[in-house]
Chains A and B, each alone.
Chain A
Amino acid sequence: MNPRVAVWLVAQLHLWLGAFVVAVPMFVFIIETIGMMTRDERYDNMAYEFIKVSITAYSLTAIMGGLLSFCLVLFYPDLFKYLALIFKESMFAYALLFFAESAVLYIYYYGWHWLQGGNRKWVHLTFGLLLNAFGITLMLLANSWTTFMMSPAAVDAAGVFNGNTWEAIHNFLWNPINIHRVVANVAYGGSIVGAYAGFKFLSAKNKEERAHYDWVGYNANFIAIAALLPLPFAGYYLTAELYAYSQQMGITLMGGVFAWIFIIQAVLIGALFLSANYYLWCGMGRSDGASRYNGRIKFIAIVLVAAFLVWFTPHTLVLTNSELKSLGGPYHKYLGVFGIMPAKNTAVNFLLTFTFMSFMFYRRANKVATVSWATTGNAIQIALFTMGLINIVTLGVYYGYFTNTVYKVAASIPQVLTTLTIIIVSTVIDTLMYKGAKDVAPLHWGRMPARSQYALFLLAVSFTWLMGLMGYVRSGIRQHWHVSNIFRDASPDAYTPTLGYAANVITVGTIIFMAMVIFVFWLSTISGKHVVAKGYWKEQA
């Protein structure tokens, strides 16, 4: 057994499962609250179903966490001892919090139907809040150990720790990682429960079941997309902080040896956005009123695909010798401009804006606004989108290519703000405009083609793979250091593996994880089944 691969795979599996079980209670809490406020029991049932799925995953997370500690002690005892000395207080707190979280989770899950109605519901929601507080705190503590290895704090050049626990926890990259992980976990959790809904939809035995799981899938996809929209910005902030911490790490990450993994990342993010959009477009088939919008979808698709082509065009091209000779170097005169960040930022803002447009079309598909100012409202929205997109392009092209780097990097912020303004203002206008709107035709939950459910699976698999790849890069940029510039990796595996090898390890990990997820889905299916074994038990008098 290769120690590096063992720790790598176990840590990655622990993280995938952990991300899922930290995320699920967040949106379960929100869905349960929606159910309580609207008194719509469907939300309560859906929230319960999600937590039911996560409960088995919770045990698997704990098993993987235990296995990871075991592997670290067994294969890297000196590193573990060093980290344990610095983080002993927080590791102890982690263990205690884990007990508390388990207790709260069991009360929350097993007490779901017991704590119903009136004050009991409030008590149940309080347990939900506590569960989230414990879960997130656990994640933040574990993040600090990881980020300490990247950006150690309160240690001298010889690695001697001379600070307190808080200084070690609050190291330079801790908060950027925290923000990125919290947002990404929600998107990831949404995609996994989306896959669950897809699994149940495809195996549904009747129309009602299909309608229910179609609705669940729609909500899960909504959660995934809602968290996916701010995710590129959280990632950009993390990377900018990483560059600020160490230019060497930054360049190794995005310009150097790991740059090709970012191209794979771009392709996978492409798959994420396309499958999320495709699911929305297919969803328009739930009502007959939506066909009015069908003709416009192709324009959204053209923009999305064009934005993707820019998004994953590498700066340094992979060329055959004859191509190299013909181009006169590894950079393309025209396509080279797409290889740097201003082009990528512009492309991703277009992607987000047009994904939001898909969602707006979906929302409006079956409705006709009845307010008197509907025409004006539409005109304002069209103006908002047009001006916003012009602003994004101007910022990207002018500040990205015709000013110095300070403005290049800074221009990304107004670009993001433009996108967020479009999304928020448009949502507000739309909500007001479609208040009391008429339905064009009845909505048929369950009238979804099977291929739309495979889009949900693709979303979950792409997310998993993506997290594995980027997690490897985050860890790999330490190169031959366990703790950057402090604690050198002296093992025979201290070298950076080839990209192909790394991709293979992560792919195997993804397959193992997806197998575990399917196992979890299957368990939730059999838990509700009752077989009457006639003649097996002796008759009671």
Chain B
Amino acid sequence: MTKKRLIPRLLQLVLIIIGVYFGFILLFDVALHQIIPKSLLTMYMLFVVAGTAMVFTFTEEGAQELVGPIKALVEDPSKKMIRNVVFVIVPLLAGYYTYTSMLPSFEAPMELRTIHPAPPSKFKAFGKSYNLTTLQNPYRKFEKEDPAKFKGLVKEGGDVYIKNCQYCHGDKLDGNGPYASGLNPTPLNFQDVGTIAQLQESFLFWRISTGGPGLPQEAAPWISAMPVWQDYLTEDEIWKVILFLYNYTGRAPRSWANE
């Protein structure tokens, strides 16, 4: 015997799915002011729908209760009118959805770009060859050995940053400088947990000194606007600016050894 419910199971399922959908939108778009991208929301909802359907159907009674109204709609002679209405509306909605999603628009297609180049083992800059696996920031040691000197070096790095980098990467290092909106791909946000915090300082040295043209051939075109900074800055200035990037964001560079 199935219990008499206040809200039928099918309606419960639909309400939960709609509730979660709008819950995401409310949380991110309204409360946190950071929209939830459509592509991500679609993936989220796929699993929310699957999970909810599983909970509603793992018992035989639950499954019967859920499909009962649908079966009745298709089979029950007394529901002829509503059946005809549903059978007209559902294909129309499917058609409308297909039409709107296939309709050509002026919006540029979405890009599936992962801007995370793989470093070469060696590269050339400042007329020398560097081995990326062994290269280290020559000033990093002062962080422990001579904190006062280290502070001075970070400040010098900060000056280099403000004079050269903040126009794109922003004065808060969040990738949102005055020129950022004109660039695609957008300048890197150093505050994000997944950017410089995941990288070794040698990686940053490679990226800064060789810029966009120094990106690897694989996974091209990179279309990066990053200048080749070895033409404008000295090797020392680049190492100092790297100190500043980590110091300002409070992140530690990736290293393989324990401190």
Residues of A within 8 A of B (CB): 246-252, 255-257, 259-260, 267, 270, 274, 277-278, 281-282, 284-285, 291, 294, 297-298, 301-302, 304-305, 308-309, 312-337, 339-340, 401, 403-406, 449, 451, 479, 496, 499
Q: Beyond A318-B112, A401-B193, A405-B255, is A312–B43 a contact (Cβ under 8 Å)?
A: yes
Q: Beyond A326-B35, A340-B198, is A260–B112 a contact (Cβ under 8 Å)?
A: yes
Residues of B with C-beta under 8 A to A451:
57, 63
Residues of B with C-beta under 8 A to A246:
121
Number of A-B contacts (CB under 8 A): 177
Whether B110 sits at the interface, judged by CB under 8 Å, is yes
Residues of B within 8 A of A (CB): 28, 32, 34-40, 43-44, 46-48, 50-52, 54-55, 57-60, 63, 107-108, 110-121, 132-133, 174-176, 180-181, 184-187, 189, 192-195, 197-198, 218-219, 251-259
For residue B46, give the distance in angstroms from its CB to the closest CB of chain A.
8
CA distance A313 to B132 in the complex (A): 30
Flag if A335 contacts B40 (CB, 8 Å).
Answer: yes
Residues of B with C-beta under 8 A to A335:
28, 34, 36, 40
Residues of B with C-beta under 8 A to A257:
114, 218-219
Q: 8 more A-B contacts (CB under 8 A) besides A247-B133, A404-B253, A405-B255?
A: A248-B119, A256-B117, A301-B51, A302-B51, A313-B40, A330-B185, A405-B254, A406-B257
Flag if A256 contacts B219 (CB, 8 Å).
Answer: yes
Residues of A with C-beta under 8 A to B32:
333-334
For residue B30, give the distance in angstroms from its CB to the closest CB of chain A.
13
CA distance A319 to B186 in the complex (A): 12
For residue A500, give the distance in angstroms from its CB to the closest CB of chain B.
9
Residues of A with C-beta under 8 A to B116:
251, 255-256, 259, 316
The 3 closest A-B pairs by CB, nearest first: A404-B252, A255-B116, A305-B51
Flag if A324 contacts B35 (CB, 8 Å).
Answer: no
For residue B243, give the distance in angstroms from its CB to the closest CB of chain A.
15
CA distance A328 to B184 in the complex (A): 11
Flag if A406 contacts B37 (CB, 8 Å).
Answer: no
- A–B Cβ pairs within 8 angstroms, 19 of them: A252-B218, A256-B219, A259-B116, A267-B46, A274-B50, A277-B54, A281-B58, A298-B55, A308-B47, A316-B113, A318-B40, A323-B37, A325-B181, A327-B35, A330-B115, A331-B192, A334-B34, A340-B194, A406-B256
Flag if A248 contacts B121 (CB, 8 Å).
Answer: yes
CA distance A319 to B42 in the complex (A): 12
Residues of A with C-beta under 8 A to B252:
403-405
Query: CB-nearest residue of chain A relative to B64?
Result: A449
A499 is contacted by which of B28, B54, B59, B112 (Cβ under 8 Å)? B112
B38 is contacted by which of A278, A284, A291, A320 (Cβ under 8 Å)? A320
For residue B144, give the distance in angstroms from its CB to the closest CB of chain A.
14
CA distance A340 to B254 in the complex (A): 14
Flag if B254 contacts A297 (CB, 8 Å).
Answer: no
Residues of B with C-beta under 8 A to A301:
51-52, 54-55
For residue A525, give the distance in angstroms from its CB to the closest CB of chain B.
27
Flag if B175 contacts A317 (CB, 8 Å).
Answer: no
Flag if B59 contacts A294 (CB, 8 Å).
Answer: yes
Query: CB-nearest residue of chain A relative to B44?
Result: A309
CA distance A499 to B219 in the complex (A): 11
A331 is contacted by which of B39, B132, B184, B194 (Cβ under 8 Å)? B194
CA distance A499 to B46 in the complex (A): 21
Q: Beyond A297-B58, A340-B198, A451-B57, is A247–B47 a contact (Cβ under 8 Å)?
A: no
Residues of A with C-beta under 8 A to B63:
449, 451
Flag if B60 contacts A327 (CB, 8 Å).
Answer: no
Q: Beyond A257-B218, A320-B38, is A406–B47 a contact (Cβ under 8 Å)?
A: no
For residue A72, give the distance in angstroms from its CB to the closest CB of chain B.
25
Q: Beyond A256-B219, A331-B194, is A323–B38 a contact (Cβ under 8 Å)?
A: yes
Residues of B with C-beta under 8 A to A405:
197-198, 252-255
Query: CB-nearest residue of chain B relative to A260?
Result: B112
Flag if B48 contacts A305 (CB, 8 Å).
Answer: yes
Flag if B113 contacts A334 (CB, 8 Å).
Answer: no
Residues of B with C-beta under 8 A to A259:
114, 116
Flag if A406 contacts B255 (CB, 8 Å).
Answer: yes
Residues of B with C-beta under 8 A to A250:
118
Residues of A with C-beta under 8 A to B192:
331, 336
Residues of A with C-beta under 8 A to B197:
404-405
Q: Beyond A323-B37, A329-B186, is A336–B58 a contact (Cβ under 8 Å)?
A: no
Residues of B with C-beta under 8 A to A312:
43
For residue B115, give the distance in angstroms from its CB to the closest CB of chain A.
7
Residues of A with C-beta under 8 A to B46:
267
Interface centre among A249, A278, A319, A329 (most CB of B within 10 A): A329
Residues of B with C-beta under 8 A to A284:
58-59
Flag if A256 contacts B114 (CB, 8 Å).
Answer: yes
CA distance A257 to B181 in the complex (A): 25
CA distance A258 to B256 in the complex (A): 24
For residue B91, give the distance in angstroms from its CB to the closest CB of chain A.
26
Residues of B with C-beta under 8 A to A281:
54, 58
CA distance A441 to B112 in the complex (A): 54
Flag if B186 contacts A330 (CB, 8 Å).
Answer: yes
A282 is contacted by which of B58, B107, B258 (Cβ under 8 Å)? B58
Flag if B193 contacts A327 (CB, 8 Å).
Answer: no
Interface centre among B51, B58, B118 (most CB of A within 10 A): B58
Q: Beyond A328-B175, A404-B252, A449-B60, is A317–B193 a contact (Cβ under 8 Å)?
A: no
CA distance A327 to B113 in the complex (A): 16
